Amino acid sequence: MSIFEREAFEEFILSLKSVTIAHQWGDASVSKVGGRIFAIFSIWGEGEKWKIAFKCSDMSFEILQELAGVEPAPYLARAKWVQVMPGSELGEDDIKAYIVEAHRLIASGLTKRVRNELGLMNLD
């Protein structure tokens, strides 16, 4: 099953530690850790296909948008988010690795108390 299918995306997300998924914003699957969003599975426009958006580091943001099928995420690019389309140059294993890193980036920004409560103290 492809990561661009909701069931596969959500199954992968739920394999990460201390995450929740909310269905909001036009039925998008919004992935959160400690209440903060790190990845989104959504349709970003009328008649579009499902796409995956995630937070990334400054360097990854610059590099990834150079790939075909990867672009700055609408509304979130200023916070260094990209969106990936099905058939992009970025392979499925790479997408998963970037989502894991997005989870780590967002979780590491949580307060020490929240990270401790969620069992996320060893992220760095």
80 contact partners, CB below 8 Å, separation of at least 6: 55, 56, 57, 58, 60, 61
User: Among 29, 37, 19, 21, which Cα is nearest to 118's?
Assistant: 19
**70-116 pLDDT, tens digit each:** 999 989 999 999 999 999 999 999 999 999 999 999 999 999 999 99
Kindly tell me if the per-residue pLDDT of 39 is higher than 80: yes
The domains of the chain are located at: 6-118
Separation CA 112–CA 56 (nearest Å): 21
Residue 34 has pLDDT above 90, yes or no: yes
Model pLDDT, residue 11: 97
- What is the side-by-side order of every strand in the sheet holding 28-33? 19-24, 28-33, 36-42, 51-55, 81-84, 70-72
Whether the Cβ atoms of residue 84 and residue 70 lie closer than 8 Å to each other: yes
For 20-33, how does the pLDDT look when each residue is reduced to its tens digit (9 = 90+)? 999 998 889 999 99
- Mean per-residue pLDDT, 65-71: 95
pTM beyond 0.85: yes
Select from 3.30.465.10, 3.90.1150.30, 3.10.580.10, 4.10.80.40 the CATH code of 6-118.
3.90.1150.30
